[in-house]
């Protein structure tokens, strides 16, 4: 059994069970705008600061041996934001992929995307495909970037694919099952999240991984995403390790 030390901060080597690291961590990166507002800065500064948090969390997850990290980067609902802010987010995505690709590749990270990326600017699509192709043979952390992603949209697109396969007699009605549906989702081949983390004080999923989150542990923090660091990540993992996951059963 692992216990909190008497010191205020967690020490990963002492307090976290390194044999019980979550296989899949999903994060709703929230609070960039409010972080900037609190500092009397434009919202774009918050998004730029959020990129540094991504860099730190990806590195730490890789160090800890996390197999899958899914980051909610841009939702299907985010298009309603001002065009200037949307453009800033797309430019930051391109910059992140260009600037970080070499290090991510050398660190063994695999880059994947979730969501309908066909609606992203062409340059974003090109950089994503380039990053995916460059890292596809890596074997460490799978970094899933959820872009133009929505849980309901994910399920809807899966239902359309299933309907099409039914009409073309590729599958039969009797074949329908939870596992079959799972295989049509964007997360095909990816285990469901063990824990979903949301900073910024909000306590909802906001249309993120709705099917996949059925038995995920939820962990919320008041910290804005730009201030999210490895110590906060350690605390979330520690809390996760001290919960019982019963999946509807009894221990």
> pTM of the prediction?
0.92
Total length of the chain: 251
- The torsion angles phi and psi of 99, rounded to 5 degrees, stand at -75, -30
The residues, ordered by sequence, that sit 6+ positions from 5 with a Cβ below 8 Å of its Cβ are: 11, 14, 15
Q: Which of 17, 20, 56, 78 is catalytic?
A: 78
Residue-wise pLDDT for 123-172, tens only, equals: 999 999 999 999 999 999 999 999 999 999 999 999 999 999 999 999 99
With cut-offs at 50, 70 and 90, classify the pLDDT of residue 10: low
Q: Which of 30, 153, 154, 186 is catalytic?
A: 30
The residues, ordered by sequence, that sit 6+ positions from 163 with a Cβ below 8 Å of its Cβ are: none
* Degrees to nearest 5, angle at CA 93 with 90 and 54: 135
Dist CA 172 CA 165 (whole Å): 8
Residue-wise pLDDT for 15-54, tens only, equals: 899 999 999 999 999 999 999 999 999 999 999 999 999 9
Confirm whether 30 is a catalytic residue. Answer: yes
Which of the pair, 214 or 15, is modelled with greater confidence? 214
- CATH fold for domain 19-240: Undecaprenyl pyrophosphate synthetase (3.40.1180)
Confirm whether 17 is a catalytic residue. Answer: no
Exposed, middle or buried, 125 (CB in 10 Å: 0-12/13-18/19+)?
middle
């Amino acid at each position: 059994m692992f216990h909190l030390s008497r010191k205020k901060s967690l020490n990963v080597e002492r307090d976290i069970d390194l044999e019980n690291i979550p296989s899949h961590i999903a994060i709703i990166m929230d609070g960039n705008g409010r972080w900037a507002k609190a500092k009397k800065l434009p919202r774009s500064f918050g998004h730029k600061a959020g990129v540094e948090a991504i860099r730190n969390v990806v590195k730490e997850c890789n160090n800890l041996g996390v197999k899958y990290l899914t980051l909610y980067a841009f939702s299907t609902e985010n298009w309603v934001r001002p065009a200037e802010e949307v453009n800033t987010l797309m430019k930051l995505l391109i910059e992140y992929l260009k600037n970080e690709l070499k290090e991510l590749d050398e660190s063994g990270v695999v880059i994947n995307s979730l969501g309908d990326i066909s609606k992203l600017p062409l340059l974003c699509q090109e950089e994503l495909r380039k990053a995916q192709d460059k890292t596809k043979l890596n074997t460490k952390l799978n970094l899933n970037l959820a872009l133009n992603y929505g849980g309901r949209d994910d399920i809807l697109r899966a239902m359309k694919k299933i309907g099409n396969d039914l009409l073309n007699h590729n599958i039969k009605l009797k074949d329908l099952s939870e596992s079959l549906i799972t295989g049509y989702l964007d997360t095909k081949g990816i285990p469901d999240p063990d824990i979903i983390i949301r900073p910024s004080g909000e306590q909802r999923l906001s249309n993120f991984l709705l099917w996949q989150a059925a038995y995920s542990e939820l962990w919320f923090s008041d910290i804005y995403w730009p201030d999210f660091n490895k110590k906060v990540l350690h605390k979330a993992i520690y809390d996760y390790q001290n919960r019982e996951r019963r999946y509807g059963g009894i221990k």
